[in-house]
Amino acid sequence: MDFQFNDEQRMAIDAARRFAAEKLAPAAAEHDEKAEVNLKALKELGELGYLGMTVPEEYGGSDMGAVAYAGAMVEFSKADAGVAVGVSVQNSLVNDAILHFGTEKQKKEYLPKLASGEWIGCFSLTEAGAGSDPASMKTTALRDGDGFVLNGTKNFTTNGGIADVIIVFTRYAEKGNSAFLLKKDASGFSVGKHENKMGIRSSSTTEMVFTGCRLPSDAVLGEEGKGLKVALATLDGGRIGIAGQAVGIAEAALDESLRYSKERVQFGKPISEFEVLQFMLADMATDVELAKTMLFKVAWMKDSGQKRFTKESAMLKLFASEMAHRVCHKAVQIHGGYGFMKDYKVERLYRDQRITEIYEGTSEIQRFVIARSILGA
Ligand SMILES: Cc1cc2nc3c(=O)[nH]c(=O)nc-3n(C[C@H](O)[C@H](O)[C@H](O)COP(=O)(O)OP(=O)(O)OC[C@H]3O[C@@H](n4cnc5c(N)ncnc54)[C@H](O)[C@@H]3O)c2cc1C
């Protein structure tokens, strides 16, 4: 076993840390307050190769791998978890879906522009009546001549308002569910409601509306009628990104708590000298360390070519997101009343953390996936 990063991984993660400190952290509170996407930063991350981290060089990617990607996600999330989820969706949900299920033509057309950040992508699975149960989706794709016509509304799509490329999942009458790949200028497609959120406010979350949206037959992504296979296999990798986001948020909350507890004086001494707080900090640090170890293990499984790691990625996402909840809760407690104020970063971290327990499968769904796997059901 080798617990060291190689030189390339170390360089990618160190450069991500510098980018986060210089370009994300100074603007994060303002983007959160105004609910504005930091599109400039996302585009720069594309130019630096962070939007094509698992895309091979032949398709214009930087091919840094899943371990480097997981480490970069931690660094970006420490500074701005909203930007980080944009990076995660592009790498794990859009690029990986095209890479593993796209035709050669689709890979050549889409991946170079996505990997460079020229195009931003999104992954539109959820609907108002189909969240944890995506198979109950109602958006339809019906054959029309040699193409398809899509009708329906998707909701809660990350990157929706800034997306040039959309992966959308539909029902296709008797042929099951199909995934489609389209550009934002497809006729009959529009962006719907922009959500006003509790956290990750610097990310775009929107409805995606399909009204008689006409697509050619080569817009199908993966096998026709096997769209849910595309969605579920892709989400295995997506959970690495969300776990990285949770670890980053938690690590930032721990850093803030260590600093604050040494500065804040009550009863004539820094509050870090109270054993109760020392134990809280020790538990937080242990929690972060454990989740980080799981994160890099599952990323390593992906890099070493394992096709499915459903159980492990579900365990990772479950543990990392609930860990971030525990850590952010303690971080606010350590800050006392100041932790409740927007002047202090832990207030934003506490709100940003919450989504990691919900999207790309709630904690309940992760437990369901794990239980099914260990029971052999
Ligand atoms: C900010 C944000 C960004 C998002 N980004 C995207 C995106 O980019 N693309 C996309 O497709 N979706 C996205 N989503 C949607 C997200 O994945 C769903 O919200 C999530 O899967 C839960 O679905 P739901 O909200 O409909 O909740 P529901 O499925 O209605 O769940 C409600 C509650 O019931 C529980 N529950 C449901 N079924 C079961 C069961 N069988 N057993 C036990 N408990 C159960 C759930 O765990 C939850 O506690 C996003 C959501 C948000 C909030």
Atom of ligand 1 nearest to the CA of 361: 21
Q: Where are the beta strands (DSSP E) in the chain?
A: 121-124, 140-144, 147-158, 165-171, 177-183, 189-194, 205-216, 220-221, 265-266, 269-270
- Given 176, 193, 226, the domain boundary residue is 226
Query: Which of the 8 DSSP states describes residue 132?
Result: S
How many Å apart are CA 180 and CA 262, to the nearest integer? Answer: 53
Domain CATH code at residue 67: 1.10.540.10
The rounded Å distance from CA 358 to ligand 1 centre is 6
Residues 133 and 206 in one domain: yes
Dump pLDDT digits (tens) for 194-238.
Answer: 999 999 999 999 999 999 999 999 999 999 999 999 999 999 889
Tokens in use for 288? 């972060």
Atom of ligand 1 nearest to the CA of 93: 8
Rounded to 5°, angle at Cα 105 from 100 and 107: 40
* Domain boundary, last residue among 76, 103, 120: 120
Instruction: Answer whether residue 2 is part of any domain.
Output: no
Q: Is 198 in the same domain as 235?
A: no
What's the CATH number where 303 sits?
1.20.140.10
Residues 329 and 347 in one domain: yes
Strand partners, 213: 150
Domain of 310, in residue numbers: 228-374
Q: What radius of gyration, in Å, describes the C-alpha atoms of the chain?
A: 21
The residues facing 255 across adjacent strands are: none
Q: Identify whether residues 272 and 329 lie together within a single domain.
A: yes
Each residue's pLDDT tens digit, 299-345: 999 999 887 789 999 999 999 999 999 999 999 999 999 999 999 99
Helix axes 81-88, 25-34, angle to 10 degrees: 90
Distance from residue 197's CA to the centre of ligand 1 (Å):
15
β-sheet bridge partners, residue 143: 148
Residue 276 has pLDDT above 90, yes or no: yes
Cβ of 244 less than 6 Å from ligand 1:
no
Pocket-testing residue among 126, 127, 196, ligand 1, by greatest number of atoms within 8 A of Cβ: 126
Does residue 131 have its Cβ closer than 6 Å to ligand 1? yes
Residue 174 has a pLDDT of 63
Domain boundary among 226, 260, 283: 226
Q: Are residues 325 and 284 in the same domain?
A: yes
Model pLDDT, residue 2:
82
pTM, entire model: 0.97
Q: Which of 174, 171, 180 is nearest to 218 (CA)?
A: 180
User: Is 312 considered catalytic here?
Assistant: no
- Whole-number pLDDT of residue 173: 65
Q: In whole angstroms, what is the distance from residue 124 CA to residue 236 CA?
A: 16
134-187 pLDDT tens trace: 999 999 999 989 999 999 999 999 999 999 999 999 997 667 899 999 999 999
